[in-house]
Every structure is written in structure tokens, then in C-alpha cells.
């Protein structure tokens, strides 16, 4: 079976600056990965490579068995669900949430009248909204939702195309505690129920890692610092090395927390 993601020596350059360097990364189908690291580590750049919207300057990148540079990415992209700031900005905010979700069937950002949708499509949209805990918002205009509700609707939308690979670029950004916890619960439920979808979640907060996500790639200064099972790579030692301050990692029932040692800071 083809790997969902297979990167070898991937380097991305912009304006003469290396954003990521010599990244090797293999993701098997159905795995749940967390792409972790501090701000500026290169997480979003690497996710753009995986989404096929950024070609590496050096190295080889294959996504869902298709080698970038040797395949038509327009044919590949419908198999990839991508939730992040760029696609979110294209959503027609006056539309009801049900329409926002169902238009993900064709990766469209237009009214439903521009495509034909079957009864099965509408039923599938309802199921995805239920999965993400937003079915009660189906008739509300997207613009009336909170930030957290919008993000869960957009994830439901990304699932409409039945993607093989789902990319989530820092979905917890800007959420308050309640909204964050509802999002984490929805992502954990999705990880449990949608076994055939490979998921990559970008975050720089260990508290945002949902139960059910069990692998992690840590980036630091554009390079891979560690990769493997979360229980092995997310340690106080690894975070201390990355952030340059004494840190400890605590875990409980599949959730993680990073804390600083105040005594060691002074």
C-alpha cells in the first residue's frame, strides 16, 4: 500500500532563505500525526508541501502515492482535505452552514445552485456536521457562528469530499477554553470513527493534542528534531532543547500538558 506522505530530503526556499531543510517523513495510511514546534519552525510550510500547493526546491515528495512534479496535482488535490486560514477566507459567509458543508463535495466556494447535489450528498453533509458537533447550526448563517463553531463547520466541509488525507493547520488558534475543548472532543471522535482517513494536525500547544492522535513530528528551526510515537518524542528533554528553557511534560488519559520549572528559571 502506498504511503500517505513520503518525503525525502525536502527543502523549501523563499527569497533566498531556507524555510525547511532536509525533511524526511513517512506517514502510513490511517495514521494520526501531530506536526509540532514553536512559531517559525516551518510547520505551515511543510503542511503546504503535503497539500501540494508548495513544491520543494530540493528533495522528493510523494503524497497518496503520487510523486510531485510527475503527476497532475489538480487530480490529486480533491483527495486532500485542507482546513486553514487560506481556504477559510474563501467561504461565502452569508450562506447557511448546511450549504457551506455540502459545497465541500466539489471543493467549491460558491452557492449550491452552481452544482448538482444528490439526496445522498445532503445526508452525508448532515452526518459530517453531527460528527463535528455542529448539526444544530445547519440553518444558521456561517457569519453568525463563533470562531470555534466556524472551525468545526469547516472540518465537516473538508470531510464532504471523503478525503484520503485531512490536513488541519492550527485549528485551535484564537479559541477560548470551552471552544478549544469542544473542538478537541470533536477531533478525537473523528479520529475514532473515521479510521480510513489519514490526519495531520498542526499545533504549537501540547494541550491541543486530541486523544487518538499518537504520532508526532517535531520541527525546530526548519529541521526535523524528532519523529515517532508521541509517548517517545514529546518529552521534557525534547521541549527543553527546542525552547531553551526547562520544561516538563505531563500526560493523563491521552491529554498532554507542558509546564515550566519556575525554580530553574531564576
Domains delineated in the chain: 31-44+77-265 (3.40.50.300)
Buried b (16+ CB within 10 A) or exposed e, 99-126: bbbbbbbbbebeebeeeebeeebeebbb
Mean pLDDT computed over 186-214: 91
Lowest-confidence segment of 44-48, 178-182, 226-230 by average pLDDT: 178-182
pLDDT at residue 218 in the model: 97
pLDDT at residue 264 in the model: 45
Q: How many CB atoms lie within 10 A of CB 21?
A: 18
Residue 124 contacts residue 98 (beta carbons within 8 Å): no
pLDDT exceeds 90 at position 222: yes
Give 7-47 pLDDT, tens digit per residue. Answer: 999 999 998 899 999 999 999 999 999 999 999 999 999 99
SS3 for 216? strand
pTM of the model: 0.88
pLDDT exceeds 70 at position 109: no
Lowest-confidence segment of 32-41, 104-113, 162-171, 233-242 by average pLDDT: 104-113
Query: How far is residue 198's CA from residue 161's CA, in Å, rounded to a whole number?
Result: 14
Of 119, 125, 127, the closest CA to residue 96 belongs to: 125
Residue 4 is classified by DSSP as S
Give 39-79 pLDDT, tens digit per residue. Answer: 999 999 999 999 998 999 999 999 999 999 888 888 888 89
pLDDT at residue 86 in the model: 67
In angstroms, what CA-CA distances link 160 with 90, 106, 254?
Answer: 17, 8, 28
Mean pLDDT computed over 181-202: 89
**Strand arrangement of the beta sheet that strand 17-27 belongs to:** 17-27, 5-14, 58-63, 66-67
Amino acid at each position: 500500500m502506498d504511503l500517505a506522505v513520503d518525503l525525502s530530503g525536502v527543502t523549501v526556499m523563499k527569497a533566498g532563505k531556507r524555510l525547511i531543510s532536509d525533511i524526511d517523513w513517512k506517514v502510513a495510511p490511517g495514521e494520526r500525526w501531530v506536526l509540532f514546534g514553536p512559531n517559525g519552525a516551518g510547520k505551515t510550510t511543510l503542511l503546504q508541501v503535503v497539500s501540494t500547493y508548495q513544491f520543494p526546491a530540493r528533495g522528493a515528495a510523494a503524497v497518496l502515492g503520487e510523486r510531485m512534479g510527475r503527476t497532475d496535482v489538480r487530480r490529486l488535490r480533491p483527495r486532500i482535505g485542507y482546513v486553514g486560514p487560506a481556504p477559510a477566507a474563501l467561504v461565502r459567509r452569508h450562506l447557511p452552514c448546511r450549504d457551506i458543508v455540502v459545497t465541500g463535495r466539489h471543493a467549491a466556494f460558491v452557492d449550491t445552485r452552481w452544482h448538482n447535489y444528490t439526496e445522498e450528498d445532503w445526508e452525508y453533509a448532515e452526518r459530517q456536521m453531527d460528527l463535528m458537533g455542529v448539526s444544530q447550526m445547519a440553518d444558521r448563517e456561517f457569519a453568525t457562528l463563533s470562531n470555534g463553531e466556524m472551525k468545526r463547520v469547516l472540518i465537516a466541509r473538508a470531510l464532504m469530499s471523503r478525503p484520503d488525507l485531512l490536513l488541519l493547520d492550527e485549528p485551535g488558534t484564537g479559541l477560548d477554553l470551552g471552544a478549544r475543548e469542544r473542538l478537541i472532543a470533536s477531533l478525537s471522535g473523528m479520529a475514532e470513527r473515521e479510521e480510513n482517513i489519514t490526519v495531520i494536525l498542526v499545533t504549537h500547544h501540547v494541550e491541543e493534542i486530541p486523544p487518538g492522535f499518537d504520532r508526532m513530528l517535531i520541527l525546530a528551526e526548519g529541521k526535523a528534531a524528532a519523529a515517532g510515537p508521541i509517548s517517545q518524542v514529546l518529552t521534557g528533554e525534547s521541549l527543553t532543547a527546542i525552547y531553551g528553557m526547562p520544561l516538563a511534560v505531563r500526560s493523563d488519559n491521552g491529554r498532554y500538558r507542558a509546564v515550566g520549572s519556575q525554580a530553574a528559571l531564576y
